[in-house]
Copies of this chain bind each other. A is one copy, B any other.
Amino acid sequence: MLENLQKIRLEKPVDKIIEQIRSLIQNGDIEPGQKLPPERKLAERFGVGRSQVRDAIRKLELYGILKTHPQSGTVVAGIGLVALEGLITDVLELDHHDFNSLVKTRVLLEKESAKEAANRRTEEDITQIKKALKAYEAKIVQGLPAVEEDLLFHIKIAEASKNNVLKSLMMIITPEIVTNYNRLKVCGTGEGIKALNEHKEILKQIVNQEPELASQSMEKHLQNVLEFSLKMNH
């Protein structure tokens, strides 16, 4: 009841503007590839200020939905109505990701990273991964928290995969992952040695160019948190 009241009040003007831009596109008033009306016109039409329209446009620009040309106008991406609709829906539903979906997706991306790292790593990649592993080990041996070092180890593997889209997607979900891990206290104490050995195993398989084994070891490494996420899902 009170929660419903709060939710209505938290609705953001920028999101309302995005909804209205979506309607313009859905109604066929503006087609993919065409220009939006000028900012001033949109502000007038939506009954808001120009700076709010700009904020909405900036947000949609980051998602590839709009493309602004200075002193010229703002064009809707020519990617088709279905893609536009799906993306705008996604923009408006941000921060509604459940923890289980986050973890499952992380597992998928990490497995693929490990597999591709085994396929494509260079000597320099191996050096970087080893360095990250060494830093992780130093923390674990001292019984200190090693979240940063753990994450760096995973990032170095993603870099060794030579798939920068994969790495981007991993980085994009990282804030929510880390925030949820902290909130839910996922990284308990006492499992550092086990995780360290799993890291070593994964690295060995990457060095030896064994993609399937690396992928399996990565999955095993993340199995606990996956099971945890099933229980804690909300």
Contact = CB atoms under 8 A, between A and B. Distances in A.
B171 A79 contact: no
Interface string A161-177: 01111111101111110
A64 interface: yes
Contact of A55 (B58, B83, B101, B104): B58
Contacts of A169: 105, 169, 172-173
Interface stretch (A3-11, A19-27, A146-154, A216-224): A146-154
B97 A165 contact: yes
A90 interface: yes
Interface in A87-106: 87, 89-90, 93, 96-98, 101-102, 104-105
Which of A62, A81, A108, A151 has the largest count of B CB atoms less than 10 A from its CB? A108
A165 B173 contact: yes
Contact of A164 (B59, B101, B174): B101
A86 interface: yes
Contact of A83 (B65, B97, B104, B151): B151
A64 B175 contact: yes
Contact of A80 (B59, B78, B148, B173): B148
A176 B82 contact: no
B172 A90 contact: yes
Contacts of A102: 165
Given A105-B163, A105-B165, A148-B82, A175 B87 contact: yes
A186 interface: no
Oligomeric state, in number of copies? 2
A59 B148 CA distance: 24
Q: What is the size category of the interface that chain A forms with chain B?
A: 35 or more
A164 B172 CA distance: 14
A98 B175 contact: no
B151 A80 contact: yes
Given A80-B151, A148-B82, A63 B172 contact: yes
Interface string A39-69: 0000000000000000100110011110000
Nearest to A81: B148
The 5 closest A-B pairs by CB, nearest first: A64-B175, A79-B178, A101-B165, A105-B165, A101-B163
